Amino acid sequence: MSHDAAPNLDFAGTTPYEDYVQADVLTHLQHPLSEDPGEMVFLVTTQVMELWFTVLVHEWETASRALREDRVPVALDALARSARELEALNASWKPLGQLTPAQFNAYRGALGEGSGFQSAMYRRMEFLLGEKSASMLVPHRGAPRVHAELEKALQEPSLYDEVLRLLARRGLPVPEEVLVRDLSLKYEPSEAVEAVWAGVYRSADQSSELVRLGEALTDVGELVWRWRNDHLVATRRAMGAKAGTGGSAGVTWLEKRARKNVFPELWTARSHV
Ligand code: HEM
């Protein structure tokens, strides 16, 4: 083939690109509900975020499986990828971050009761991070596949459960009640686990596998916290203190959710190192 060979133009059916990417499907899934030209970017940003949620769930499931099999480097790679993906997810707030209330109102009414609160993939992420909640399945009763996936994720160990089991296998004193906890309930912070992390972080070897694991999880926790706070500030700008389309009190409800940190002991242990 010569240097200046042009790309192939001749395909019998659809292009191999199309067969792989399904761009034709993906770029025809945009059905705005209003006439407002600003609605398109709201819809596409939401769809883009759903795709990133899907990637993040994939990475954290990969990391969970690797931890279960004691393959920590594989888990570290997946967590490092997920941190960069979270940065890309968070950067996608840019087009929506400065909406004025009038701009948002131009299509807000068309959303009816629709709200990101009803995102099943976001709940899968939260479940993997340890924030289990059976009541978050209720909105999805009418969608069998989504409901089944969420139910499975509710019952399975979270990424953090797998981390704590690994720490226990490494001989660290993770209490039995944490290891045999009811996996379908929200993870509650434990002082003994906080002491375990403080011990890990006191280690002379700051590049040990467990310190690196702690830091990879902390990166994820920080970026999840940033997503929640960017969402909160975007909401404050776009709608002030109005009630949400999903029926919550809006900003005050989101403030409460955004105050929390995932992997709680990784944050509190730092005071004891
Ligand atoms: C400026 C645009 C946005 C505003 C004003 C806004 C507003 C809100 C409000 C008020 C809530 C609370 C629930 C409710 O009553 O509706 C909420 C929840 C939520 N929104 Fe948004 N939102 C915006 C954009 C987005 C986007 C682009 C996504 C991406 C998927 C998203 C995902 C979520 C999620 C996952 C929740 C549930 C949070 C939780 O359970 O802690 N939001 N949003």
Q: What is the pLDDT of residue 3?
A: 72
Beta carbons of 217 and 76 less than 8 angstroms apart: no
Crossing angle for the helix pair 101-108 and 209-239, nearest 10 degrees? Answer: 90
Q: Judge whether 31 is annotated as a binding position.
A: no
- Nearest residue CA, atom 35 of ligand 1? 116
Which protein residues are within 6 Å of ligand 1, measured from CB? 45-46, 49-50, 96, 99, 115-117, 119, 122, 231, 234-235, 238-239, 244-248, 250, 253-254, 257
Residue 119 Cα to ligand 1 middle (Å): 9
Q: What is the pLDDT of residue 266?
A: 98
Q: Judge whether 231 is annotated as a binding position.
A: yes
CA distances from 123 to 92, 174, 204 (A): 19, 27, 38
Q: How far apart are CA 186 and CA 184, in angstroms?
A: 7
Q: What is the pLDDT of residue 164?
A: 98
C-alpha triplet 67, 69, 74: angle, nearest 5° = 55
User: Among all chains, which residue has been given the structure tokens 């993870």?
Assistant: 187
Residue 218 Cα to ligand 1 middle (Å): 24
Residue 117 Cα to ligand 1 middle (Å): 6
Phi-psi region of 268 (alpha: psi -120 to 50; beta: other; left: phi over 0): alpha
Q: What is the pLDDT of residue 1?
A: 56
Beta carbons of 107 and 99 less than 8 angstroms apart: no
Q: Judge whether 245 is annotated as a binding position.
A: yes
- Nearest residue CA, atom 32 of ligand 1? 116
The b/e string for 217-250 (b: 16+ C-beta within 10 A; e otherwise) is: bbbbbbbbbbbbbbbbbbbebbbeeeebbeeeeb
Q: How far apart are CA 239 and CA 104, in angstroms?
A: 8
Spell out the per-residue pLDDT of the chain, length 273, in tens. Answer: 567 899 999 999 999 999 999 999 999 999 999 999 999 999 999 999 999 999 999 999 999 999 999 999 999 999 999 999 999 999 999 999 999 999 999 999 999 999 999 999 999 999 999 999 999 999 999 999 999 999 999 999 999 999 999 999 999 999 999 999 999 999 999 999 999 999 999 999 999 999 999 999 999 999 999 999 999 999 999 999 999 999 999 999 999 999 999 999 999 999 999
Query: Counting atoms of ligand 1 from 1, which one is nearest the CA of 242?
Result: 10
Q: Which domains does the chain have, with CATH numbers?
A: 31-107+115-272 (1.20.58.480)
- Nearest residue CA, atom 30 of ligand 1? 46
Residue 140 Cα to ligand 1 middle (Å): 17
Q: What is the pLDDT of residue 4?
A: 83
For ligand 1, mutation pick of 93, 235, 253 (most atoms within 8 Å of CB): 235
Residue 75 Cα to ligand 1 middle (Å): 30
Query: Counting atoms of ligand 1 from 1, which one is nearest the CA of 115?
Result: 16
Q: How far apart are CA 260 and CA 118, in angstroms?
A: 20
Which ranges of 97-143 would DSSP assign to H, the alpha helix? 101-108, 120-128
Q: What is the pTM of this model?
A: 0.97
Q: How far apart are CA 40 and CA 46, in angstroms?
A: 10
Tell me: the pLDDT tens digits for 162-206?
999 999 999 999 999 999 999 999 999 999 999 999 999 999 999
For ligand 1, mutation pick of 254, 261, 262 (most atoms within 8 Å of CB): 254
Beta carbons of 244 and 253 less than 8 angstroms apart: yes
CB-based contacts of 152, cutoff 8 Å, min separation 6? none
CB-based contacts of 188, cutoff 8 Å, min separation 6? none
